[in-house]
């Protein structure tokens, strides 16, 4: 193999011209012959035993060329990448140059490579950093969430109302014929949850246990093709109406749901935890804002392949999220009338931001020569084992050394940026400043009109 040319072109791609010699091609032809001969029958020879020269004489010397090219190409391509020390980030665009003969062949490969990155400003930056503020409503919301988990459903003898759970039998009919997936028995439906098709739950409100009713429903246009936009009738019977029995928020409640004896103690603990959560979220937002600036300050030509790979990763993550909710990806596409191509296109902008962020991280690590010792890795394993109350060997089973090392290196890179950064307070918008801004906007409009 000989690399005839190696030229950098736009968007961090490299154009290679690679020549496969006669000897290399001959070796590939021999491999192709050994692979293909079992499927070639020549009179006077047992299957797979015909000599190569005999086959070439009968079918032409080019009989093994296509398979030989398939064998020789990856070997030559990989050798060229190694020789030129290219870090590839996608698949090559390959073209043959001229004819392939027993003397070999020449091909071009345009390949996307890891881009050259020039860091801009990454120290001494500034970004808005919020303040920890725990309001009474925050604590109340958290208490209500805990109470909601302790809520029981109790049967009631009255008309169903919003927020109740109706236990129903139902069956859907399209033009008088039952349709697939439109039937259920003793289904618990929380009224107002949006669990069923629009208009269904609203018509169940007001029904009592034992009551039957026909519901006229029109399916949304963005639905499965068989039912999209169709008018159907659901025959519904209410078997039971249940309401939520929410516990009283008092000292007894605190004892039941926590290690505290009084509601005030529980509230104080919740306030502390909420403050810690806010502090963590604020710090994360501060770091993200700074790293976004670093990413924006990069000088880099990003190959399309990197963005496409990241976009596909976003889609794969989305598929996993749907699967965890029990929603098949294909069904989601049908129900929303979406094509995967449009999802990939929408994912390209956030994919670009993520790629720039990753490149910024890598550039900082390189510029600062950041490393992590074996002792630091082991200490992190120990910390995680204590944090999750797990045996350290079990943690190592789920997280390998490289993953932990990469995480620690990334933390150090972020620390380089944040330790030199300045935190700014968020500007408060008052009625006075808002009116001033409105007047300035009006003046600008008047100028434009003139």
Domain holding 19: CATH number?
3.30.70.1050
Same domain for 163 and 94? no
Q: What is the mean pLDDT of residues 253-273?
A: 96
Residue 358 has pLDDT above 50, yes or no: yes
Same domain for 158 and 102? no
For residue range 51-105, list pLDDT tens digits in order.
999 999 989 999 999 999 999 999 999 999 999 999 999 999 999 999 999 999 9
Residue 204 CA to residue 241 CA, distance in Å, equals: 11
Q: What is the mean pLDDT of residues 129-151?
A: 94
Cβ-in-10-Å burial (0-12, 13-18, 19+) of 402 comes to exposed
Backbone angles phi, psi at 396, to 5 degrees: -65, -25
* Strand (E) or helix (H) holding 365: helix 340-368
* Contact indicator for 105, 4 with CB cutoff of 8 Å: no
Same domain for 196 and 97? no
428: confidence class by pLDDT, cuts 50, 70, 90: low
Q: What is the mean pLDDT of residues 296-321?
A: 95
| Strand pairing class (165-174; 2-9) | unpaired
Residue 297 CA to residue 361 CA, distance in Å, equals: 12
Same domain for 85 and 180? no
| Domain around 44 | 2-112
* Contact indicator for 360, 295 with CB cutoff of 8 Å: yes
Residue 233 CA to residue 178 CA, distance in Å, equals: 9
Q: What is the mean pLDDT of residues 301-326?
A: 94
Q: Answer yes or no: is 56 within a domain.
A: yes
Name which of 4-18, 80-94, 309-323, 431-445 the model is least confident about: 431-445
How many CB atoms sit inside 10 A of residue 364's CB? 23
For residue 225, the model assigns a pLDDT of: 82
Residue 40 CA to residue 54 CA, distance in Å, equals: 11
Residue 444 CA to residue 65 CA, distance in Å, equals: 72
The residue whose two tokens read 């098709």 is 197
Residue 114 CA to residue 303 CA, distance in Å, equals: 8
Domain count for the chain, please give it.
2
Same domain for 104 and 176? no
Same domain for 75 and 161? no
Same domain for 190 and 102? no
Name which of 223-237, 326-340, 373-387 the model is least confident about: 326-340
Report the Cα–Cα distance between both ends of the chain, in Å, rounded.
71
Angle between helix 401-419 and helix 340-368 axes, rounded to 10 deg: 70
Q: Is the dihedral of CA 73, 74, 79, 82 positive or negative?
A: positive
For residue 238, the model assigns a pLDDT of: 97
Q: What is the mean pLDDT of residues 315-319?
A: 94
Q: What is the mean pLDDT of residues 345-357?
A: 95
For residue 445, the model assigns a pLDDT of: 38
Same domain for 158 and 224? yes
* Contact indicator for 219, 232 with CB cutoff of 8 Å: yes
Cβ neighbours of residue 396 closer than 8 Å, sequence gap 6 or more? 381
Residue 430 has pLDDT above 80, yes or no: no
For residue 439, the model assigns a pLDDT of: 54
Same domain for 174 and 76? no
Who has greater pLDDT, 370 or 430? 370
DSSP letter for each residue of 296-312: HT-B----HHHHHHHHH
Secondary structure class of 92 (helix, strand, coil) = coil
Name which of 48-52, 171-175, 390-394, 403-407 the model is least confident about: 48-52
Same domain for 99 and 198? no
For residue 448, the model assigns a pLDDT of: 40
Q: Answer yes or no: is 136 within a domain.
A: no
Q: Give the torsion through C-alpha atoms of 265, 266, 268, 273, to 10 deg.
A: 150
Cα separations (Å) of 88 from 21, 85, 162, 351, 360? 24, 9, 58, 18, 18
CATH number of the domain that 200 lies in?
Answer: 3.10.50.40
Q: What is the mean pLDDT of residues 265-289?
A: 96
Q: Answer yes or no: is 199 within a domain.
A: yes
Same domain for 170 and 96? no
User: Which one-letter DSSP state was computed for residue 156?
Assistant: -
Q: What is the mean pLDDT of residues 300-317?
A: 95
The rounded percent of the chain whose pLDDT value lies above 70 is 95
Q: Answer yes or no: is 445 within a domain.
A: no
Residue ending a domain, choose from 223, 245, 267: 245
Q: How far is CA 353 from the centre of its chain?
A: 13
Residue ending a domain, choose from 245, 271, 293: 245
Cα separations (Å) of 70 from 59, 256, 355? 19, 70, 33
* Contact indicator for 185, 166 with CB cutoff of 8 Å: no
Secondary structure class of 4 (helix, strand, coil) = strand
Longest dimension (CA), the chain: 101
Residue 440 has pLDDT above 90, yes or no: no
Q: Answer yes or no: is 416 within a domain.
A: no
* Contact indicator for 114, 366 with CB cutoff of 8 Å: no
Residue ending a domain, choose from 222, 245, 268: 245
122: confidence class by pLDDT, cuts 50, 70, 90: very high
Same domain for 95 and 172? no
Residue 298 CA to residue 305 CA, distance in Å, equals: 19
């Amino acid at each position: 193999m000989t690399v005839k040319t190696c030229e950098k072109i736009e968007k961090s791609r490299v154009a290679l011209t690679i020549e496969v010699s006669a000897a290399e091609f001959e070796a590939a032809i021999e491999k192709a012959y050994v692979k293909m001969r079992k499927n070639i029958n020549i009179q006077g020879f047992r299957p797979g035993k015909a000599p190569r020269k005999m086959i070439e004489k009968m079918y032409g010397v080019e009989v093994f060329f296509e398979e030989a090219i398939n064998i020789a190409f990856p070997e030559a391509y990989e050798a060229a990448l190694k020789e030129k020390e290219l870090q590839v980030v996608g698949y090559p665009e390959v073209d043959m140059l001229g004819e392939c003969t027993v003397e070999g062949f020449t091909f071009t490969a345009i390949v996307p490579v890891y881009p050259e990155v020039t860091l801009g400003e990454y120290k001494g930056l500034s970004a808005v950093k919020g303040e920890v503020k725990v309001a009474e409503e925050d604590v109340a919301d958290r208490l209500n969430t805990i109470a909601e988990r302790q809520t029981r459903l109790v049967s009631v003898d009255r008309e169903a109302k919003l927020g109740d759970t109706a236990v129903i039998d139902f069956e859907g009919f399209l033009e008088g014929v039952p349709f697939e997936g439109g039937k259920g028995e003793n289904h618990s439906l929380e009224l107002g949850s949006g669990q069923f098709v629009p208009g269904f739950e609203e018509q169940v409100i007001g029904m009592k246990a034992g009551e039957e009713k026909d519901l006229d429903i029109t399916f949304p246009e963005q639905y499965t093709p068989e039912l999209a936009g169709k008018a159907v009738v659901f025959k519904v019977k209410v078997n039971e109406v249940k309401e939520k029995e929410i516990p009283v928020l008092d000292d007894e409640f605190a004892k039941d749901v926590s290690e505290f004896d009084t509601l005030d103690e529980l509230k104080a603990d919740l306030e502390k935890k909420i403050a810690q959560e806010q502090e963590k979220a604020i710090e994360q937002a501060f770091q993200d804002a700074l790293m976004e600036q670093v990413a924006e300050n990069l000088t880099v030509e990003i190959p399309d392949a990197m963005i496409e790979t990241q976009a596909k990763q976003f889609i794969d993550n989305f598929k996993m999220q749907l699967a965890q909710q029990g929603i098949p990806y294909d069904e989601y596409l049908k129900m929303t009338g979406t094509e995967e191509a449009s999802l990939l296109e929408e994912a390209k902008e956030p994919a670009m931001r993520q790629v720039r962020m990753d490149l910024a991280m890598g550039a900082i690590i390189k510029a600062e020569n950041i490393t992590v010792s074996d002792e630091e890795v082991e200490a992190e394993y120990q910390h995680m084992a204590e944090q999750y109350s797990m045996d350290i060997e079990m943690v190592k089973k789920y997280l390998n050394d490289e993953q932990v090392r990469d995480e620690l290196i990334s933390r150090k890179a972020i620390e380089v940026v944040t330790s030199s950064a300045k935190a700014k307070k968020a500007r408060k918008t008052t009625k006075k400043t808002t009116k001033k801004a409105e007047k300035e906007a009006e003046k600008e409009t008047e100028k434009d009109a003139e």
